[in-house]
Amino acid sequence: MAKKIKTAFAKKNSLFIVRLSLPDLIALSGILISLISILHSHYGRLEYALAFMFMAMLVDSLDGVFIKLFKTERLFGRYMDGFIDFLVFLISPAVFFYYFGFERLHIVWVLLLFGACGVIRLSVYDQVGDIKTKDKEFACLGMPVFWSHFITAAFYGLAFIIKGDAVVYLAAVVMGAYSFLMLLNKKFAQFEKKPYMFAVIIILMSVFFWLGLSKGSPLF
């Protein structure tokens, strides 16, 4: 017997077209957090931009935990999560790098390549999902999009070591290579130990908030 798929569609007499669950609302909060990150990038407050990027990443990770906890997995959530991931893991880092130095015409195309490859990568993941390796560990086809946040954080730090345009061109090369890896037909390991992943995200988020506050930059 085929497994019955849970739907999010409301009844005919309902006011709205969909019934949102708690994990849905948690996931949707990632949109607001990412928009705040984008605004901070626009105003040159890159520390806060990174802090909110990792906050959105944390929310995205918690969304999956709550889905398993409340047993509310459904196709609607998967489709919606793909749109939110586009904003969280593609648009936010792209805006960060634009203000990092990618606004030049001969470099900005890297961001277009990154966005296009990321959309393809997310579309494949939405269709295929996680896969198991021979060692019964979870993996996915193509390099995961969440690495975009760690790359942005790494180049924020490198900017203090490598001065001038060199760090910008190096970032362009790395982002171009990352775009290629997102489409590579290879299995990339997923984070299995969620507590360690949450700890790393929270530490990085806290560090960037502290850096922004230490500069005296306005948070809002």
Q: What angle do CA 141, 109, 43 make, to 5 degrees?
A: 100
Averaged pLDDT for residues 50-59: 96
- CATH number of the domain located at residue range(s) 22-214 in this protein: 1.20.120.1760
Is the pTM here over 0.85, yes or no?
A: yes
Q: Could you tell me which residues come within 8 angstroms of residue 47 by beta carbon, excluding any fewer than 6 positions away?
A: 156, 208, 209, 211, 212, 215, 217
DSSP line for 49-87:
HHHHHHHHHHHHHHHHHHHHHHT---HHHHHHHHHHHII
**1 pLDDT higher than 70:** no
What is the pLDDT, as a whole number, of residue 205? Answer: 97
Taking the domains of the chain in order of start, what are their residue ranges? 22-214
| pLDDT category of residue 195 using cuts at 50, 70 and 90 | confident
* Range with the largest mean pLDDT of 67-76, 115-124, 181-190: 115-124
| Token pair for 67 | 């889905």
Distance of alpha carbon 129 from alpha carbon 139, whole angstroms:
9
Higher pLDDT, 197 or 15: 197
Q: Could you report the per-residue pLDDT of 199-218, keeping only the tens digit for each?
A: 999 999 999 999 999 998 88
**Residue at token pair 């295929």:** 128
Which conformational region is residue 167 in: left (phi greater than 0), alpha (psi within -120 to 50 degrees), or beta? alpha
Higher pLDDT, 169 or 11: 169
**Residue at token pair 């944390």:** 58
Residues in the chain: 220
- Give the sheet arrangement for strand 138-141, strand by strand: 131-132, 138-141, 187-189
Q: E strands within the chain? A: 131-132, 138-141, 187-189
**174 pLDDT higher than 70:** yes
**7 pLDDT higher than 90:** no
Averaged pLDDT for residues 6-23: 71
Q: What percent of the chain has pLDDT over 90?
A: 59
| pLDDT category of residue 2 using cuts at 50, 70 and 90 | very low
What is the pLDDT, as a whole number, of residue 139? Answer: 83
Distance of alpha carbon 198 from alpha carbon 63, whole angstroms:
12
What is the pLDDT, as a whole number, of residue 11? Answer: 61
